[in-house]
Amino acid sequence: MRNRSLGSGLCFAAMLCAVPAAAAPPAQDLGAADQHKPPQRMAVRAGRLLDVRTGSYAVNVLILVEGERIAGLGASAPDGVPVVDLSKATVLPGFADCHAHILGNPKDQSPTASLRMSSPMAALWGAHNLQTWLDHGFTSLRDAGEADLAYGQIALRDAVRRGLIRGPHIVCAGNFVSLTGGHGDADALAPDQALPRRPNLADTVEAVNEAVRRDIKYGADWIKLMATGGVMDPHSDFSVQELSEAQMARAVEVAHRAGKRVMAHAEGAEGIKAAVRAGVDSVEHGTMLDEEGARLMEQRGTWLVPTLFTFQHLVEQGTSLGADPIMAAKGRAILAAQQPAFELALRHHLKIAYGVDDDPEFVSREFGALVRGGMTPLAAIQAATVNAAEMLGTSNNTGTVEEGKFADIIAFNGDPLNDIAVTEHVVFVMKGGQVIKNEAAMPR
């Protein structure tokens, strides 16, 4: 690792004159007086600032924050600007969880959990869950789809953008586009107790049109396809392809035409390859990836969000949180395929973004799983920063600590490049210029 110090000749006052005004936030329910307040200014003194692109450290850096954005980097702060002292800490850009499920109680893994909770209660749980992501230094996330037909995740996304509640920057998938009886079919009841058919179910190419357009109509940023069966239901087979390649290709066509991106839950090898050939932007899990699939993803530049920890954690938990014994057995069976598949992904240099697919209490544990799987600590951190921002299309605003980007800043005691477990103990979190957590220093 290389240490470098920024020259003391940099002058923040001069820099501020050259920095354009921060982009206006989305419309908020503010009074007239609040709307005309000048942007608040503060500074963060970083003992070591990690350049997540190169793995090098800059020492004793002042990060000047104006409003929600970074106004500049230098060595000293303008007079009168309060400084948060992180001089003994390692500072990084905020992390992104690219496979989150915001709604509901993450500690209830029973097959009927979503059917026993109203949409309003699921959203209230979601507001609570968002605080957990923030507390762990995750200032951005992508919701990977929900069973809620009222789209509570999209309401929470919009509430955060309006400033009604505190949470990470959010992009959302809608419902799960799934076959009847597929991994995204929420009806786990007996045939004589079946629920009314849900609009996310699509058994033909034309039905996919309707399901995708419904998600887009109600505000989805991403479309979530169920390319294969999965583990966390009692009826699907994770090794079996579900949506056809033609169905997935139609979903991609409709979504891309509308400026949206497409993610595919895909565990079995054939479903992974069909999803990639259909043109999806990201494959989620990829747990049984084979050589042909890895080559195909490499050639097409398809992103992989491997979610290693959640499968490992499921085996640890067994049925203790209400998972059906069938679900627990599937988790044990698929885990054997995980490491060989991940080694293929690394060998083919696939583009990898960070995602957990678990209780946000454990959101930082994926770093360790990625490193145990064969990534370097820097590569694991890149998966949650620059890579995540590139996949989500937010590189202009997030992923690095740079002038003009959102002031999403986190800090740790210790060096995560030497010990990845450091990432599990965040001591400072700032999101969009607001200090969320500070256990390292007090402003002076």
| Placement of tokens 């033909």 in the chain | 204
> Using CA atoms, how far apart are residues 155 and 272, in angstroms rounded to an integer?
31
- What's the pLDDT at 240? 97
- What's the pLDDT at 19? 34
Pinpoint the alpha helices (H) of 194-244: 205-217
Amino acid, res. 247 = Q
- At 441, the pLDDT band (50, 70, 90 cuts) reads low
Residue 121 structure tokens: 């209660």
Question: How long a stretch of residues is the chain?
Answer: 444
Pair (20, 145) in one structural domain: no
- What's the pLDDT at 277? 98
Neighbour-count burial of 133, counting CB atoms closer than 10 A to its CB (0-12 exposed, 13-18 middle, 19+ buried): buried
SS (H, E, C) 4-59: EECCCCCCHHHHHHHCCCCCCCCCCCCCHHHHCCCCCEEEEEEEEEECCCCCCEEE
In terms of Cα–Cα distance, which of 415, 425, 420, 311 is closest to 376?
Answer: 420
Q: Which domain holds residue 415?
A: 3-94+400-438
What would the pLDDT profile of 149-176 be if each residue is shown by its tens digit? 999 999 999 999 999 999 999 999 999 9
Pair (102, 205) in one structural domain: yes
Does 136 fall in a domain?
yes
Pair (127, 77) in one structural domain: no
- What's the pLDDT at 232? 87
- The pLDDT of 23-47, averaged and rounded, is 57
Pair (65, 128) in one structural domain: no
- What's the pLDDT at 327? 85
Residue 409: give its domain's CATH number: 2.30.40.10
Pair (198, 50) in one structural domain: no
- What's the pLDDT at 28? 31
Does 196 fall in a domain?
yes
What would the pLDDT profile of 82-126 be if each residue is shown by its tens digit? 999 999 999 999 999 999 999 999 998 888 888 889 999 999 999
3-state secondary structure of 191: helix
> Using CA atoms, how far apart are residues 209 and 220, in angstroms rounded to an integer?
14
Pair (151, 72) in one structural domain: no
3-state secondary structure of 245: helix
Does 443 fall in a domain?
no
Pair (217, 317) in one structural domain: yes
Pair (162, 205) in one structural domain: yes
**Of 189 and 222, the one with more pLDDT:** 222
What would the pLDDT profile of 206-244 be if each residue is shown by its tens digit? 999 999 999 999 999 999 999 999 998 899 999 999 999
Q: How many CA atoms lie within 13 A of 20 on its CB side?
A: 4
Averaged pLDDT of the chain: 90
The proportion of the chain whose per-residue pLDDT surpasses 90, expressed as a percent, equals: 80
Does 215 fall in a domain?
yes
**Of 36 and 332, the one with more pLDDT:** 332
Pair (325, 380) in one structural domain: yes
Does 229 fall in a domain?
yes
Does 444 fall in a domain?
no
Residue 284: give its domain's CATH number: 3.20.20.140
Top-ranked range on mean pLDDT: pick from 106-110, 310-314, 416-420? 416-420
- Beta strands 138-143 and 434-438 are unpaired
As for how many domains the chain has, the answer is 2
What would the pLDDT profile of 340-386 be if each residue is shown by its tens digit? 999 999 999 999 999 999 999 999 999 999 999 999 999 999 999 99
> Using CA atoms, how far apart are residues 435 and 410, in angstroms rounded to an integer?
10
The mean-pLDDT minimum among 181-190, 239-248, 260-269 falls in: 181-190
Q: In Å, what is the CA distance from 13 to each residue of 23, 75, 80, 237? A: 20, 12, 12, 61
CA quadruple 372, 373, 374, 379: dihedral, nearest 10: -90
Pair (89, 99) in one structural domain: no
Cβ neighbors of 62 (< 8 A, separation 6 or more) are 12, 43, 44, 45, 46, 73, 74, 75, 76, 77, 83
Cβ neighbors of 194 (< 8 A, separation 6 or more) are 187
